[in-house]
């Protein structure tokens, strides 16, 4: 590890968004440690990144972050971490709650919730001692609404979103910046591994993980509290659905996650036309408030510039904005 290069830890870094985060940080001149459970995929990912960024150090740790032992092993092996990308997570769906596998859902909670808290606790203590650091938590747009047919997953991502926002407020005086990434459906193995190939979300066109990772890095290095990953359509629809009560959010979510051949009773209330109308109204409202929100942000930025700067002066990576 070079003394003048920040070191980035990316969990879930062997594929998807995690791989792209690791690759883009490496190409921007950061040493990178990628962690995942599958040794073969981990080494393949590391070799691909080394080919693209031969001047930096790319290390790997194989660990099961759904276990205490795995988290401790990773932390011991990691050494100094300047940027943590807490990206590891799994999904679970493909049927209603009476049909899905309890053991898989408990393992999901262990990784998506317990493992995130455990690793963050260890890394944050190290960062606080130095008075600087950055953390990116990968949540999901599923974390802003109840999630029929993936209820445990959506709840876990709501936890991550709230956890990240809470830590951001708490840790700012210690020089630690926290950003929450909320991607929409992204072109990864997520839906297949979650048993959700037979759902509208699993079958729809998805965002490029390269784009999502670039947006995440831009937001993290700009010290933004959160970023909705993906294209404009995803951002508008997500902004729109925030305006509605949870029952409407749940139905909108259900329209994407209910298996297409589901034969259960009832459809949860609102039909597709009603949901489409609500999204349209919400999108208009979101667009109508955009200027006001931008003005508020500019005012806040002006106030922030008059405050002491946080102790986190890492090299800015990936300045291009989609």
Among 153, 163, 191, 244, the one annotated catalytic: 153
Distance CA 11, CA 21 (A): 10
Distance CA 190, CA 90 (A): 7
Can you give the three-state secondary structure of the chain, one letter per residue? CCCCCCEEEEECCCCHHHHHHHHHHHHCCCEEEEEECCHHHHHHHHHHHHHHCCCCCEEEEECCCCCHHHHHHHHHHHCCCCEEEECCCCCCCCCCCCCCCHHHHHHHHHHHHHHHHHHHHHHHHHHHHHCCEEEEEECCHHHHCCCCCCHHHHHHHHHHHHHHHHHHHHHHHHCEEEEEEEECCECCCHHHHCCCCCCHHHHCCCECHHHHHHHHHHHHHCCCCEEEECCHHHHHHHHHHCCCCHHHHHHHHHHHHCCCCCCCCCCCCCCHHHHHHHHHHHHHHHHHHHHHHHHHHHHHHHHHHCCCCCCCCCCCCCCCCC
Task: Name the phi and psi angles at 100, rounded to 5.
Answer: -75, 160
Distance CA 179, CA 136 (A): 5
262 counts as catalytic: no
Catalytic residues: 153
């Amino acid at each position: 590890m070079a003394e003048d290069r920040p070191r980035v830890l990316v969990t879930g870094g062997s594929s998807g968004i995690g791989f792209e985060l690791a690759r883009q940080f490496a190409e921007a001149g950061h040493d990178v440690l990628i962690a995942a459970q599958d040794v073969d995929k981990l080494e393949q990912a590391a070799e691909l990144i080394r080919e693209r960024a031969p001047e930096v150090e790319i290390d790997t740790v194989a660990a099961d972050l759904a276990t205490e032992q795995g988290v401790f092993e990773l932390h011991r092996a990691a050494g100094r971490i300047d940027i943590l990308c807490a990206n590891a997570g799994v999904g679970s769906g493909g049927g209603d709650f009476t049909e899905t596998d309890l053991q898989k859902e408990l393992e999901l909670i262990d990784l998506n919730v317990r493992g995130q808290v455990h690793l963050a606790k260890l890394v944050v203590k190290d960062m606080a001692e130095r008075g600087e650091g950055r953390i990116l938590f990968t949540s999901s747009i599923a974390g802003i609404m109840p999630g029929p047919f993936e209820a445990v997953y959506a709840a876990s991502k709501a936890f991550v979103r709230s956890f990240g926002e809470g830590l951001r407020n708490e840790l700012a005086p210690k020089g630690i910046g926290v950003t929450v990434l909320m991607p929409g459906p992204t072109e990864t193995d997520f839906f297949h591994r979650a048993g959700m190939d037979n759902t509208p979300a699993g079958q729809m066109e998805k965002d490029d993980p390269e784009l999502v990772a670039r947006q995440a890095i831009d937001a993290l290095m700009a010290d933004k509290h959160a970023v909705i990953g993906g294209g404009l359509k995803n951002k508008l629809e997500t902004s729109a659905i925030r305006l509605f009560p949870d029952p409407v959010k749940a139905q909108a979510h259900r329209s994407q996650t209910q298996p297409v051949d589901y034969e259960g009773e009832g459809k949860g209330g609102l039909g597709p036309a009603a949901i489409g109308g609500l999204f349209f109204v919400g999108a208009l409202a979101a667009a109508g408030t955009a200027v006001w929100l931008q003005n508020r942000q500019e005012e806040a930025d002006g106030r922030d510039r008059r405050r002491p700067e946080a102790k986190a002066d890492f090299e800015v990576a990936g300045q291009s904005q989609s």
